[in-house]
A = this chain, B = another copy of it.
Amino acid sequence: MRRIALLIAGGRGERFWPKSRYHLPKQFLSLTGPKPLIKLTYERLKGFIEHQDIWIIVPEDLKPKLKKILPRVKIITEPEGRNTAPAIAYATLKLRKSYGDAVMFVLPADHWVYRRDKFLKILSIAYQHALGGSLVTLGIKPTRPDTGYGYIQVDGRVGGNAYRVLKFKEKPDLETARHYLEIGGFYWNSGIFIWRIDRILEEFRRHMPKMMSRLEEFIRSKKKELYHKLPSISIDYGIMEKASDVVMIEANFEWDDLGTWNALARHLKTDPSGNVRVGRVCLSDSKNSIFYSDHGLIAALGVEDMIVVRTEDAVLVCPRSKANEVKTLIKKLRKEER
């Protein structure tokens, strides 16, 4: 059966503020090297999915940026940011029209993956399970009690590295995350899903029938307010938790959702003092810090465990331990500037 991909590029990823902005979210940034994350995600599928079968769902205002990076990519416009369940359902209805049934690979456009060979091998395994009718998700074996990820709890092997999913867990606190690692059977939720179009539509119609009828009306009428009224709910909680025959494949590639400046630092080279330096940076007596400039010089003296980011119009300074709270700061900033 034909393979098609749907890359989700609707995130507004402000955790990399001031580098990422509402109108320049994470997926469009070149954080880990010269290529934007969305291009890396696209190219990662090379040889596995035909380029003409790779689709990206993206908000209207981000389309020009996307076209610059990937001029030939197929685009579905996300009418409004209403989380992943409406976005995926909407895109799936559109793809159903073009393709009939097919196996669909749903991938966040802004994640980091190391070892493309392993990644594609896992996708092949997932493809087989999806062909058989399962809703498949990829789980990453946790290497630390990370509180920045959602977790998937499994309760039994269904063969090979595939497990039956018991529960999707939201981002835990540190104690809970430690407990997960201790008792085992918990995986990081990668946000990657593989299923047949007809199977997922069946589940959408069963568990979110109201949303589906509104979506179909929206597609017929193009009335924006119909989409606006859809519930803002993730695919995990809207569908995956309730669906039958949900299978998780244990992924053995290195993966990161690049959720914070700290996450990024894990994938960049550090100097002998443990500093990550991007751009023009001059340091004296500083360690374990992240210095990221795309405009002008950062000079630091005696700085430890800090994040310093300089862009053309802003500077962020915060301890690494507070990287998760950058969103709070942006909220405050918006309020103050209003």
Contact = CB atoms under 8 A, between A and B. Distances in A.
Chain B CB within 10 Å, residue with most, of A282, A319, A336 = A282
A299 B18 contact: yes
B296 A328 contact: no
Given A282-B336, A336-B282, A317 B298 contact: yes
A298 B316 CA distance: 6
B319 A302 contact: yes
Given A284-B329, A329-B284, A329-B301, A317 B306 contact: yes
A315 B297 contact: yes
Contacts of A183: none
A277 to B, nearest CB: 12
A287 interface: no
A113 interface: no
A48 B17 CA distance: 54
Interface in A269-303: 282, 284-285, 293, 296-303
A293 B336 CA distance: 17
A308 interface: yes
Interface string A316-334: 1111011001101110110
A315 B325 contact: no
A333 B299 contact: yes
Given A282-B333, A333-B282, A336-B282, A328 B301 contact: yes
A318 B333 contact: no
Interface of A: 17-18, 282, 284-285, 293, 296-303, 306, 308, 310, 312-319, 321-322, 325-326, 328-330, 332-333, 336
